Chains A and B, each alone.
Chain A
Amino acid sequence: MSFILIVDDNFDNRHIIGQMLSFSGFAVELASDAQTALDIARQRRPSLILMDLSMPGLDGWTATEYVKRDPHLRDIPVVAVSGHVTRNDVERAKRAGCNEFLPKPIDYEHLIRIAQRYTGQN
């Protein structure tokens, strides 16, 4: 059963993204920190990870690097979701291994387009 893993320390953000994806028919799993997200990803292998970058503890950039270095996980696309929208932030996310950058606030249509593209689901 393919699902989208949403990682965000902010309750509102993860809840809104989850609701939007659910509304469009995607299965989602929520994680409030990167370590939990990595555990879930190793156990259940999501089809896409939506990764917040600036988080307490293990941050999104480092977590993405872990994913991309793990031979079992590196095929999972990671889309950075962040309010840090300067060029440097985007570049840093790309360097960490993010496949795409989705700025906050979340635009519903933008989110769905990306979800569809990386999961191949309609």
Chain B
Amino acid sequence: MRFPIRAKLLGALAIDLLLMMVLGYFATHQMAIMNERAVFIERHTIPSLDTVGDMTAAINRYRARQLEFLIYTNNGDRGRILDQMRAIEAEMASYFRAYRPLVGSETERIRLDAVEAAWQEVVRTNHERFVPAVRLVSDGSVQPFYSRMNPFYDALDRAMAELVQENQRQAQASLEVVAASYDTARTFIMIDTVVAVIISAAIGLFLAARIARRLRRLAHAAGRVSAGDFVGSINERTRDEIGDLARAFDHMLASLRAQRAELEERNRALQASLARQEQLMEEVIRGKQAEAEAERARAAAEAASQAKSAFVATMSHELRTPLNAILGYAQLLHLHKAVPESHAVYVERILASGRHLLALISDVLDFARIEQGALELEYSHVEVPALVDELAAMTLPLAQRNHNQLIAHCAPDLGTIETDSRRLRQVLINLLGNAAKFTEDGTIRLEATVEQRHGVDGVRFAVIDTGIGIPREKQSKLFQPFSQIDESVTRRYQGTGLGLALSKQIVQALGGTIEVESDAGIGSTFTVWIPAAPAVSTDSSSPEPHTIGVPA
């Protein structure tokens, strides 16, 4: 079936409508027949019978006038009666004229003709025989004349009776037609109604069953879909509304499948993303934990460092107290010359060792401070030429002890710089002290020059000696704590072993660098460079390098 349900329903309705129309047409037709018959009876049979009645009455009056004509012998009366007869004849003629159009059949026309012929026979016999005969015989013995008219009247009566009979037959026929039409119509209406009901019911039931079956399939499919089963389809081929619905359903199903597939895909992606997020979260948490641990470790380290710093500071102070006593009493022994000359050297050794220990404690304290970043720098204006002179003056006694010449030189363009004077001094004194210690019968030179490094203004201090020098392989370890070249050196030259390491830390704290160039047996050059923009000093000391002290 390739028609929409509406079309099918309309089709079923159309069949019913057609049946109704046929029924209507037929009923109308039957009604028309019945009406025609009724009209026929009304227009033909009833007027015909009336006319026949009138005619019968007129005939009877005519016969009565004949009788009067017999009775009245007066000529005047007879003349009047003849006039009356003629009037009746005229009346009859008008009846016949009136009857003619009402004739319904050939038989009736023949019978009417017969009635008219019989009437004409009566009229002709009256005028040709009865009236003349009565005029001749005026004695009143009229009976024979009157009786002679009977056969003509009888013939007329018979013709009239036949006409009436024909009329009645026609009326009967009409009634029969009406009855037949009624029966036919009734039967037809009943059959038609039954057929219409059956057809409608059949079509309705068929369509309803089929639509219900297809709707059930759809409902079943919809149920499957709502239960989450998107597999399969309805595959309706019928091209009607349900077919459209089924196809739309299939389409929806396909769309749902696609969407579910996409949804599942997205879900997978989402789950992957969630897993990744969880992983990231875990990593973040781990990171936070690690951070917290690091923070705890850092705090612990800081606490440890502070504890160490406090320990070092306390120890330094605690060590100083007995050392004060040792050095103090040794000095007093020395002052009072309380020890015999032969043993005075012991007092001097006590003093020297005590001072060494003191230096060691100071260096350790400084080193501890630098290690924990607690070295306080105090920047101030430092006159470089004055500093050079002062350092030279301080170093001179040491240099002279080993018969060294000390040369100090400050570049003429060097004036004031901004730096921590105490720390810079500490470094340079350390370097000069080392040079004096490790050089015998040689030269120690202190130089200060302006030098730019990496585009930064700075001052370069060089301490150059002609001493024992440092083997190349030892140079890299030189700035590490306790790295004097060997035990023998330590024993021979003394020193805290922290001097260079401390110097390096201080120079780095000042933002500068310290380097060494040395050849064993030839000498060493220690170079300190610190960033500082030198301002030319107006009251500069002598621009020429000057030699302080001479070899002993």
* A residues in contact (CB < 8 Å) with B: 10, 12-13, 16-17, 19-20, 23, 83-88, 104-106, 108
Contacts and interface: CB of A to CB of B under 8 A. Distances in A.
B358 A105 contact: yes
Interface in B313-331: 313, 317, 320-321, 323-329, 331
Contacts, number: 52
A37 B358 CA distance: 29
A12 B317 contact: no
A40 to B, nearest CB: 23
A30 B490 CA distance: 42
B343 interface: no
Given A87-B378, A108-B335, 4 more contacts: A20-B328, A86-B313, A105-B320, A108-B331
B336 interface: yes
B376 interface: yes
A84 B321 CA distance: 11
Judged by DSSP, the binding face of B is: helix
A12 B320 contact: no
Contacts of A16: 324-325, 328-329, 331-332
A25 B329 CA distance: 18
Interchain residue pairs A-B with the least CB separation, the first 10: A16-B328, A12-B325, A105-B324, A83-B320, A105-B327, A104-B324, A108-B331, A83-B317, A19-B332, A23-B335
Contact of B324 (A19, A83, A86, A87): A83
B433 interface: no
A88 B327 CA distance: 25
B320 A13 contact: no
Contacts of A13: 321, 324-325, 328
A105 B327 CA distance: 7
A23 B327 contact: no
26 contacts: A12-B328, A12-B329, A13-B321, A13-B328, A16-B324, A16-B325, A16-B329, A20-B328, A23-B336, A83-B317, A83-B321, A83-B324, A87-B376, A88-B376, A104-B320, A105-B323, A105-B326, A105-B327, A105-B328, A105-B354, A105-B358, A106-B327, A106-B328, A106-B331, A108-B331, A108-B335
B320 to A, nearest CB: 4
Contacts of B354: 105
A38 to B, nearest CB: 24
Contacts of B378: 87
Nearest to B422: A87
Contacts of B320: 83, 104-105
Nearest to A12: B325
B468 to A, nearest CB: 31
Nearest to A104: B324
B325 A20 contact: no
A16 B376 CA distance: 32
B380 to A, nearest CB: 12
Contacts of B317: 83-84
Interface string B343-362: 00000000000100010001
A17 B328 CA distance: 8
Contacts of A87: 376, 378
A107 B74 CA distance: 219
